[in-house]
């Protein structure tokens, strides 16, 4: 008996078409309404599938053009995919939740390179009610003005950005760290516990969108990229 959630099956079907070359970069995939009819499901199910694909940089949501297959092709975009924590947790069959720990709007510092004003956020992501990620994030309001009034207590900031502010360039920095007292407190760890730190920056057409630091317990997360050799 197939127990795979329907939104995961929809995402997998679309991913196979992209990976096979049937749907090339720039191709507009079927609309949510068309996918609802094809799979006989609710809009929320289709939206979760598209959100998962966008989180892995396989598609880009464009307000007027619809959802299109991302540039560059999948074999290279996978290496810099920006996973959505909610999709990551739910993809493991676990319950996702989050707690917004802090939120302020303040002037941006020059070295933050995010324009004139930012939203500064601290968020704890949970998996089956167990701390999974401690996140600190800045969102530049020049690039994403709607973030100033977004309800990040209801929707985590990473998910909101992926749905509302597609990125065109990203940078990842991955490192191993020992948890400081604040991080250890939020993640329920002993001070000095080994953790994985992901530092992420994204831009849209050269304008800084967000800077985030996500810290995972060392045993809680792994990074996997699947790709094929380029054809000369």
Q: Which of 128, 144, 104 is nearest to 220 (CA)?
A: 128
Query: In the chain, what are the domains?
Result: 6-80 (1.10.10.10), 86-217 (3.40.1410.10)
Residue-level pLDDT, tens digit, the chain, 232 residues: 455 689 988 988 898 888 777 888 888 999 999 999 999 999 999 998 998 888 777 888 877 778 988 865 433 444 445 667 887 788 778 899 999 999 999 999 998 999 999 999 999 999 999 999 999 999 999 999 999 999 999 999 998 998 888 777 888 888 889 999 999 999 999 999 989 898 989 988 789 999 999 999 876 655 554 444 444 4
What pLDDT score was predicted for residue 139? 97
- Cα→Cα distances 8→33, 52, 88, 95, 129, Å: 17, 8, 11, 15, 22
pTM of the model: 0.64
CA distance 138 to 209: 8
Q: What's the DSSP call for residue 110?
A: G
Tens digit of each residue's pLDDT (9 = 90 or more) over 135-159 = 999 999 999 999 999 999 999 999 8
Instruction: Name the nearest CA neighbour of 160 among 144, 143, 136.
Output: 144
Residue 120's pLDDT is what? 98
Which of 183, 200, 211 minimizes the C-alpha distance to 108? Answer: 211
d(Cα 194, Cα 190) in Å, to the nearest integer?
9
Peptide bond into 72 cis (omega under 30): yes
pLDDT score of 223: 54
């Amino acid at each position: 008996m197939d127990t795979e959630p329907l939104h995961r099956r929809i995402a997998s079907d679309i991913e196979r078409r992209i990976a096979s070359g049937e749907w090339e970069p720039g191709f507009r995939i079927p609309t949510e309404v068309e996918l609802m009819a094809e799979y006989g499901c609710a809009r929320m199910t289709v939206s979760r599938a598209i959100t998962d694909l966008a989180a892995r940089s396989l598609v880009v949501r464009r307000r007027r053009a619809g959802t299109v297959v991302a540039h560059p092709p999948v074999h290279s975009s996978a290496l810099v995919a920006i996973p959505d924590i909610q999709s990551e947790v739910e993809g493991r069959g676990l319950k996702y939740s989050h707690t917004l720990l802090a939120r302020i709007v303040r002037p941006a510092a020059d070295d933050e390179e995010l324009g004139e004003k930012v939203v500064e956020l601290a968020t704890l992501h949970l998996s089956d009610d167990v701390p999974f990620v401690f996140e600190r994030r800045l969102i530049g309001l020049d690039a994403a003005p709607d973030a100033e009034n977004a309800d990040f207590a209801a929707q985590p900031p990473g998910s909101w950005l992926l749905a509302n502010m597609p990125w065109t360039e990203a940078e990842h920095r991955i490192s191993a760290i020992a948890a400081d007292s604040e991080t250890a407190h939020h993640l329920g760890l002993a001070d000095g516990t080994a953790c994985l730190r992901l530092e992420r920056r994204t831009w849209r057409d050269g304008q800084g969108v967000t800077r985030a630091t996500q810290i995972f317990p060392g045993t809680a997360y792994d990074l996997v990229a699947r790709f094929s050799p380029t054809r000369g």
